[in-house]
Amino acid sequence: MDDRDIADLRRMIEAARRVVVFTGAGISTESGIPDFRSPGGVWEQMKPIMFQDFLASAEARRESWRRRFAADARLRAAEPNRGHRAVARLVREGKVRAVITQNIDGLHQASGVPEAQVIELHGNTTYGACLDCAARYTIDELREDFERSGDVPECRRCGGLIKTATISFGQSMPEGPMLRAQEEVLAADLCLVLGSSLVVYPAAGFPELAKRIGAQLAIVNNQETGLDDIADLVIHRGIGDVLGGAVGVN
């Protein structure tokens, strides 16, 4: 590893008054969670289920839940890695006020980042929620119903459809998290991107906005990203080694 990368990133973080972190699938692949879009990723192996199909088709809903339960063992086995722990340290130290994430795995919270400081743009797959009243259900109780009857039941509170608390293709982005993310970006003087290809909008618009309003932009990702050409620092390496080295987390 080029130690200059780590030193440059450390200097940027230390000089910043307020850092906003933006994470994508690349930070969680180091915990054994496969990403979706890369060659060999999940969507090369199975077609995503559109939100409209989930609403309209009982069979689509059953297939969606079958996939979720099939992935459960891998999700439960995943633990926060060095990159997650490094982000958590920056949050504890007050350098980072918010973590904006495209990930749905809950690993930032598991690493010690308070839930109130994690802004989940694409939701969270570790629990289910009613699409009408937002009542929450554990994956375990939903799996029990599914294994018993072949279906996830309707919401016990209002009779609505229950879905993993994620944002599917065709589903509107969550207004609250989008507004919070914008506020955090506008307040930061450094946007630190970790493990995102920055090609999926509107999420990728947040690092772009940070640069446009005068904040510095640092990107750590194994592959090239859609914003490499405007970033102040680009490091094509593993997140755990680079950020862990920069903030002193093993």
Task: Pick the catalytic residue from 84, 108, 122, 236.
Answer: 122
> What b-and-e string marks burial along 9-43, b requiring 16 or more CB atoms within 10 Å of the CB?
bbebbeebeebbbbbbbbbbbbbebebeebeeebe
Q: What is the DSSP letter of 115?
A: G
Long-range contacts of residues 141-150, Cβ cutoff 8 Å, at least 24 apart: 142/65, 143/69, 143/72, 146/65, 146/66, 146/69, 150/62
The pair of three-digit structure tokens given for residue 126, joined into one six-digit string: 């570790």
Q: Are 234 and 4 in contact (CB under 8 A)?
A: no
Instruction: Report which of 137, 129, 130, 74 is spatially closest to residue 107, judged by C-alpha positions.
Output: 74
Beta bridge partners of 129: 136, 163
Helix (H) / strand (E) element for 120: namely: strand 118-120
Answer yes or no: 122 catalytic. Answer: yes
- Rounded to an integer, what distance in angstroms lies between the CA atom of residue 210 and that of residue 205? 9
Which sequence positions are flagged as catalytic? 122
